Amino acid sequence: MDDIGSAAVQYLAGLAPVTSLLGSFPASDPVAANAGLPWIFLNDLLVTMEGSSQAAIVCSPAGSMQVAPMLSTARYPRLSVAMYVDPLRDSSRNIIETSGATILRGQKLSAYLHSHLQRTDPDIQVWGDMVTISCQLLAGGEFLPVPDGDGLQRKEVFYGLEVTGWTDVTIP
């Protein structure tokens, strides 16, 4: 059964406008199953960003935003989405763009993510095996340099969701 973080990873991995802005594992990755997968992670950033000139996303559960009604399957989880953007670099890994240009690339990623996460209609969406009813931005952030990140920028935002039921059934 998915939690909100793993469900969001599965949902976002299926969105070409989002994945086209991210780094991906090379065909030569030691884990053959990783080859070509976009850098969308659950809970932890699992690549070294510094020197990559790429972007990555980390989705994590972040508690809940309200109490569920009694005798209901509704839940109200919070989702953390952290975005990382490494500046463009030359072949010697020297930074070749301003921090402002790196942030602009990050803002483009953030806008695409938001356009797919923020819900403006009442239609349900299935993320992984989780049925989502709504998704709303709770708190935005700003891109800030990662300490000791050699120019790496990071932004974290939080979304509140309403979910109900699951597509799989667990029988004890």
Q: pLDDT digit string (tens) for 117-128?
A: 998 887 889 998
Residue 171: what pLDDT? Answer: 46
Residue 69 pLDDT > 90, yes or no? no
pTM above 0.85, yes or no: yes
Residue 72: what pLDDT? Answer: 65
Q: What is the share, in percent, of the chain residues with pLDDT greater than 70? A: 91
Residue 25 pLDDT > 90, yes or no? yes
Q: pLDDT digit string (tens) for 28-50?
A: 989 899 999 999 999 999 999 99
pLDDT bracket for residue 1 (50, 70, 90): low
pLDDT bracket for residue 165 (50, 70, 90): low
Q: Rounded to an integer, what distance in angstroms lies between the CA atom of residue 171 and that of residue 13? A: 29
Domains of the chain by start residue, with CATH = 4-166 (3.30.2000)
Residue 147's Cβ-side half-sphere holds a number of Cα atoms within 13 Å equal to 0
| Cα→Cα distances 78→63, 136, 138, 157, 160, Å | 5, 10, 9, 10, 5
Q: Which residues contact 158 (CB under 8 A, 6 or more apart)?
A: 62, 78, 79, 80, 81, 137, 138, 139
DSSP-based three-state secondary structure for 67: coil
